[in-house]
Amino acid sequence: MPEVDLPSSGYEISSNDLTPETGWTTLYFDGTWETPVDRETEPVLNPTTDEKLTDVVIGTAADVDRAFEAAAAAQNDWAERSPQERSAIIDDAIDILDKYWAAAKELLTVESGATSLKAQIELTTAKGMMKESRGLPFQVKGSTEESLIPGKENRVVREPAGVVGVISPWNFPLHLSMRAVAPALALGNAVVLKPASPTAITGGLLLARIFEETGLPDGLLNVVTGPGSTVGDRLAAHPDASVVAFTGSTDVGKHVASTTAGHLATPVMELGGNNPYVVTEHADLDAAIDAGVYGSFLHQGQVCISINRHLVHEDVYDEYVGRLADRASELVVGDPLERETDIGPVITDKQYEEIATLIKKSINGGATLETGGAREGRFIAPTVLSDATNDTAAACTEHFGPVAPIVPYSNDSEAVELANDTEYGLAAAVQSTDLAQAEAIAADIEAGSVHINDQPINEEPHIPFGGTKASGLGKFHGEQFIEVLTESKWISVQRQPRRYPL
């Protein structure tokens, strides 16, 4: 579990300052909040109670065009600002996030079904992304290169890419929006952000509120709410988009990537996963169970990098199954506004039905229900399925719920074969006190990240993050993301007369 950061002290917040009822039926263009007249809206629901929190505007392709127009007009001046000025905006945004910490935490709870722990983790990771981003303007490096031509000096400089489109998901809305928005702004770009509809506030409009208070120049951050089929498609296809950062399912990501590449913009995609968790015969089972519970059930399993399959050596299989089921059965399921709650609701009725169906199909296919299963409302108790195989319904797909299929294996080669028997390659983890064994297994697993003696829910703001195979394209964070958000430019200076052959 990552360390949980605490907000800075000394801030007071009005009860009317940031609530679900506070003016979210609006779009954010060019530094202005606009409530379109006679425009359709859609409700944002509390997934625990199904009560309406607010309405948000159903944006249009024309709204996206307006957002890009504002972004493109503002970006050149922003690119010319000094690194110190751009860094200072991110610093101010960190202070404002601290100011809104408690209110933002409650918004994450009522809008996304986050438990208190998950909301605190998400705020902490978002703040970590911002802290890393404030240093990015000083990490952009040019170079002077030798030339094949006498008297020529070659310079390679990096300039902002331009306008960055961001399409973010509903599961970690603030964090997964901020990890693209903050570095894009810090590196001199403008941004058009489309949040997921279920989390339009915490994934989009809240970020506009934060950066508005920093004094970010108008036009550099624009937020358009609405469905992917209109707003998302137009964003990906817009000719002024230089980069499109997307986090979501593989099927939708393929569509977004192909649309983006169609006008020669750069797609950066974090997509689906089917993440293996290998528990060897040499694992410390106490540590493996602790990590397995966290890696499977944090945020109801609605995490792209959560454990999808527990691959457990046959020598420790029975003990692992029993102990994981015992721990899972002790987790408290209920309204996440209650501090002691460990498991909140899944995000929508559709998501609930899909997970419940996968559990039922898994049992009908031969898996044994050790604990858990569907409950009333949108609650699914932490579910442990033994006697699973790689073909079990909940194991062969990205189930995106609080479900732990446990698959036995007999040797390291089989563990690797099972781990790689999927179209995905996002994240993985290996548990073993024999580090040579763990490192050998980790080296052979096809995934963008593999964590030894840990679980796969890990993301650090300075480490390149992304998947292989059907799990993604490009990387967030680190030098690789700087290269995406900037473009190299070759400037040569001929310092002495050049002789030409013609």
pLDDT at 212: 96
pLDDT of residue 355: 97
Contact 380, 331 (CB under 8 A): no
pLDDT at 5: 39
The dihedral formed by the CA atoms of 436, 442, 443 and 445, expressed in degrees to the nearest 10: 150
Question: What pLDDT does 36 receive?
Answer: 85
131 closest CA partner among 75, 92, 171: 92
Task: List residues with catalytic annotation.
Answer: 270, 304
What is the reported pLDDT for 461? 96
Question: In this predicted structure, what is the pLDDT of residue 14?
Answer: 35
**Chain segment 370-386, per-residue pLDDT in tens:** 999 978 789 999 999 99
Q: What is the pLDDT of residue 17?
A: 62
Name the one residue in this structure whose structure tokens are 């499109």. 244
Domain parsing of the chain, residue ranges: 27-271+471-489, 275-452
CATH class of this structure's domain 275-452: alpha beta
Q: What pLDDT sits at residue 341?
A: 93
Predicted pLDDT of residue 339:
66
Alpha-carbon dihedral 165, 171, 175, 181, rounded to 10 degrees? 10
Weakly modelled stretches of the chain, pLDDT under 50:
1-16
Q: How many residues does the chain have?
A: 502
pLDDT at residue 38 in the model:
84
Element (H, E) at 276: strand 275-279
Burial 483-495 (b: 16+ CB within 10 A, else e): bbbbeeeeeeeee
Gap between the Cα atoms of 344 and 337, Å rounded:
9
Would you state the pLDDT for residue 265? Answer: 98
pLDDT of residue 13: 30
Strands 32-34 and 27-29: antiparallel
The fold adopted by the segment(s) 27-271+471-489 is Aldehyde Dehydrogenase; Chain A, domain 1 (3.40.605)
